[in-house]
A and B are shown apart, each in its own frame.
Chain A
Amino acid sequence: MSLVPASSYRTAPALAPQRALAPPRPPGEVPKGTNLTGVLLFLMADAMILATLLAVWWTIKGASLSWPPQGVDVTTYLPSVIAITVTMSSFSMQWAVSSIRRNDQRSATVALILTAFFGVAVVNAQWYSMVRADFGIADHAYGTIYLLLIGYHAVHQALAVGALVFVGARAVVGHFGREGYDPMRAVAAFWHYSVAAWMLILTAVFLFSRH
């Protein structure tokens, strides 16, 4: 399989000589929480991208005569449905994590499928709101940054679903237990981040949409 998760280097043959020499830390093994630390650092950098997009949003909003531009109708229905869905997905994600910690495969499977379903629904709704927007990306600065913000989140949510499916499959076949579920926690951190990101985008773009 070509898609190899970062955590599977445990079996990488290149590190084998280390094993023979009994170094202080067992070969290829990284301390607990390494995956989670990596993802948290990645999210820190990621949050700076979102912060830049939001800074651009507020700067242009502050400088514009009419916001949103005339003819653009901002509805809060779909964004709110998305917000409720991502919130539910956050809870089902934690349910999955705690099930894996308890070694409860059955609950974990249900929770993971539910979370992935919520995730796909969110991506679907965002895709709909982007293609059905009554403006194009080059029509005005509002449209450009609107589509960039929604697109930023849609890409994250899609990546999160992909990572969830991959790591979730490992969880369902029993790769993780009470001690080693670091990759699962890493995916959960990414998932919760995209929930928080949507709340920020919802607030900036839809709740305080006008001057």
Chain B
Amino acid sequence: MSLTETPTEEIEGQAAAPEAEVVPPSLGGGAAANDHKAVGSAYLGFALLFLVVGGVLALLMRAQLTGPDGTLLSDQEYRSLFTFHGTFSVFLFLLPAWVGLATMVVPLQIGAGRLAFPRLQTMCLWLTVVGGGLITATPFVPGAKRIISGWALSQPIPGGANFRGDAVEYLVLGIAVVLAATVAAAANLVVTIVKLRAPGLTARRMPLFSWSALVSGFVLLLALPVLIALMGMLYVDHHYGAQLFSGFTGSRGGVPAMWSRLFWFGAYPMLWSFVILALGVGSDALPVFAGRPIADRVKAMAALGAVGVLAFFGWGSEVTNLPRSRLFFAAGALAVLAPAASVLVNWLLTLRAAAAERGRDEVRQGLTATPMLFVLGMLTVLAAGLGASAVSAAAAGRSYHTDYWQVGQQHLMYFAPATLAIAAAAHFWGPKVWGRHLSPMMGKLEVLLLTGGAHLAFLPALVLGLQNMPVQASAYDAGEGWQAMNLAMSAGAAVFALGALVFTLDVLVSVAMRKGRPADPDPWSGHTLEWTAPTPLPRHNFDRVPEVRSATPALDLRAAGTPGTPAAAEEVVGA
């Protein structure tokens, strides 16, 4: 019996029967019907596809650099791969993953049946697909060989009317379309959080993941338009032969140095928005498995907000030609690390408080749950990333931003935690949204591979940074002494890629092919509103939304009666 055949009276007032056939939100029909769960899932699927594509490019680059004097790729080919690896990973993996995760989970967490503008999110999804198509076409269009500047497009791309219509324009327009879609999607999510919260769910009671989506949504709303404007101007430069970012300053030309400043003004906060969302995932998942609310809620919210604000003050640390304001940007880039670190401390304090209240053995048992293992793995990667970022920040504008330290820092701080957060969220909220558990055994393997791979790949990159290996080196001499660390990095990349592959297969088998164990409405004894909704989720999410009287409404219900069932909700609040 499929969900659509279930009489609505049966769903109402009882936990869904575990043996009922679960229909995961379908990609085509579901997305066309503007259901936030289906649109979010499709967004995540799109992101996973480009995680794989970006990963394949990374493995090719690692194959070139594993040993000295690599001959697999020419210098131009290597730098081209380097650029597309970054472009795919940032604009087609991280951004769609942000939108997908937030779209899928936020309405459930705040007790809403929908997004504020449901059709807008579907439009954003298809715009992202169109933009992704343009970006993906870029390597196959004439002129692609000249795109070798890295994803920051930091050397202004040679342009002029002679190259009109070539690969550069595909790339620039594709990025602009994806960014515009992301801005609209983020605005939609912010409106949803601001206007559609359940009665009683005040700002201070908001689930921390939704709060992090609100904060990072604002960050994206302010940061991405800068990049959109830049892409527009680069297009004009290229297509019409204008010279805003090329030519000679002072005569007909513009100011070439302007590009990297404006680019990082937008890109730096954008990267931090992924960290904010990853911290949000951990802040909601970890307390559930610790069996108590987070140690200090107000501080966690303030810290997440502070990361969002301070993310706008460190951009200059990535720019190499800002000698006069280096101190200011070093301070800004350092300042943003403190609140982020305080969230990690908050997680550890939660565990300590749980051990004191419930006994070590109880808590230790919670630590072995698969989503919890993901959060703990993410915690170790975030800690390493914060350490690497602290050094980068102190060295604002210097060589740490042009050698392999940069590679290690960016992957440990932005890429790996985001990937782990997505996997954690899929294991944690998947049972609710898709009605199926991902495989716990595969999940433990994924944690091991993704966390171990991240450390093995990106900590050696930091060492290579200390040994002054330049970011864009496409080969090196045996005499440089870079072999050991490059070998370790390649091994780590392979392990991480294997982890991502296992995760993708896990999602395909457990959810898309419906082989996963059917989920109960509240498999983890959750704290927030989404766990009071029936599973499988009806189209409108909630038959009854319990009245919210604290930050942990599902805990309140469990304390008062049977957990997680709408019937219990009815008893408690007399709805």
Chain A residues proximal to chain B, CB less than 8 Å: 6, 9, 12, 14-15, 17-18, 20-21, 23-25, 27-28, 30-31, 33-34, 37-38, 41-42, 44-49, 51-53, 55-56, 59-60, 63-65, 69, 137-141, 143-145, 148
Q: List 15 A-B contacts (CB under 8 A).
A: A9-B119, A12-B118, A17-B8, A18-B539, A25-B196, A45-B222, A51-B226, A53-B229, A56-B258, A60-B244, A63-B249, A137-B242, A141-B243, A144-B243, A145-B244
Is B331 an interface residue, CB under 8 A from the partner?
no
Interface residues of B in 153-201 (CB under 8 A from A): 161, 183-184, 187-188, 190-191, 194-196, 198-199
Which B residues are in CB contact (< 8 Å) with A24? 111, 198-199, 542, 544-545, 575
Is B228 an interface residue, CB under 8 A from the partner?
yes
What 0/1 readout, one digit per residue, does chain B (247-271) give for beta carbons within 8 Å of chain A?
A: 1011111110010001000000000
Given the known A-B contacts A17-B539, A41-B187, are A59 and B255 also in contact in the complex, defined by CB atoms under 8 Å?
yes
Given the known A-B contacts A20-B8, A45-B183, are A137 and B240 also in contact in the complex, defined by CB atoms under 8 Å?
yes
Which B residues are in CB contact (< 8 Å) with A53? 229, 233
Chain B residues proximal to chain A, CB less than 8 Å: 8, 12, 33-35, 111-114, 116-120, 161, 183-184, 187-188, 190-191, 194-196, 198-199, 221-226, 228-230, 232-233, 236-237, 240-244, 247, 249-255, 258, 262, 538-540, 542-545, 575
Given the known A-B contacts A15-B540, A56-B262, are A34 and B229 also in contact in the complex, defined by CB atoms under 8 Å?
no
User: Which residue of the partner chain B has the closest CB to A51?
Assistant: B226
Name the distance in Å between A96's Cβ and chain B's nearest Cβ.
24
Pick from B34, B225, B241: contact of A14, CB below 8 A: B34
Which B residues are in CB contact (< 8 Å) with A60? 244, 254-255, 258
Pick from A20, A38, A148: contact of B117, CB below 8 A: A38
User: Which residue of the partner chain B has the closest CB to A145?
Assistant: B244
Which A residues are in CB contact (< 8 Å) with B33? 14
Distance of A6 Cα from B124 Cα, bound (Å): 14
Distance of A173 Cα from B161 Cα, bound (Å): 50
Pick from A21, A41, A137: contact of B221, CB below 8 A: A41
The answer to whether B221 touches A63, judged by C-beta atoms less than 8 angstroms apart, is no
The answer to whether B236 touches A148, judged by C-beta atoms less than 8 angstroms apart, is yes
Distance of A12 Cα from B35 Cα, bound (Å): 12
Count: A-B pairs, CB below 8 Å: 154
The answer to whether B230 touches A38, judged by C-beta atoms less than 8 angstroms apart, is no
Name the distance in Å between B158's Cβ and chain A's nearest Cβ.
15
Distance of A56 Cα from B112 Cα, bound (Å): 42
Name the distance in Å between B219's Cβ and chain A's nearest Cβ.
11
Name the distance in Å between B561's Cβ and chain A's nearest Cβ.
19
Which B residues are in CB contact (< 8 Å) with A63? 249-250, 255
The answer to whether B542 touches A23, judged by C-beta atoms less than 8 angstroms apart, is yes
Name the distance in Å between A160's Cβ and chain B's nearest Cβ.
18
User: Which residue of the partner chain A has the closest CB to B252?
Assistant: A140
User: Which residue of the partner chain B has the closest CB to A21?
Assistant: B543
Which A residues are in CB contact (< 8 Å) with B244? 56, 60, 141, 144-145
Pick from A23, A37, A46, A64: contact of B113, CB below 8 A: A23
The answer to whether A31 touches B8, judged by C-beta atoms less than 8 angstroms apart, is no
Given the known A-B contacts A23-B545, A24-B198, are A65 and B250 also in contact in the complex, defined by CB atoms under 8 Å?
yes
The answer to whether A46 touches B225, judged by C-beta atoms less than 8 angstroms apart, is yes
Given the known A-B contacts A24-B545, A27-B540, A37-B195, are A6 and B117 also in contact in the complex, defined by CB atoms under 8 Å?
yes
Distance of A138 Cα from B241 Cα, bound (Å): 6
The answer to whether A48 touches B226, judged by C-beta atoms less than 8 angstroms apart, is yes
Which A residues are in CB contact (< 8 Å) with B114? 15, 28
Which A residues are in CB contact (< 8 Å) with B544? 23-24
Which A residues are in CB contact (< 8 Å) with B255? 59-60, 63
In order of increasing CB-CB distance, the 9 nearest A-B pairs are A48-B225, A52-B229, A18-B540, A141-B254, A144-B242, A140-B252, A41-B187, A138-B241, A49-B225
Name the distance in Å between A49's Cβ and chain B's nearest Cβ.
5
Pick from A6, A27, A138, A148: contact of B233, CB below 8 A: A148
Which A residues are in CB contact (< 8 Å) with B225? 45-49, 52
Which A residues are in CB contact (< 8 Å) with B237? 144
Name the distance in Å between A101's Cβ and chain B's nearest Cβ.
21
The answer to whether A44 touches B543, judged by C-beta atoms less than 8 angstroms apart, is no
Which B residues are in CB contact (< 8 Å) with A17? 8, 538-540
Given the known A-B contacts A14-B33, A52-B262, A65-B251, are A21 and B540 also in contact in the complex, defined by CB atoms under 8 Å?
yes
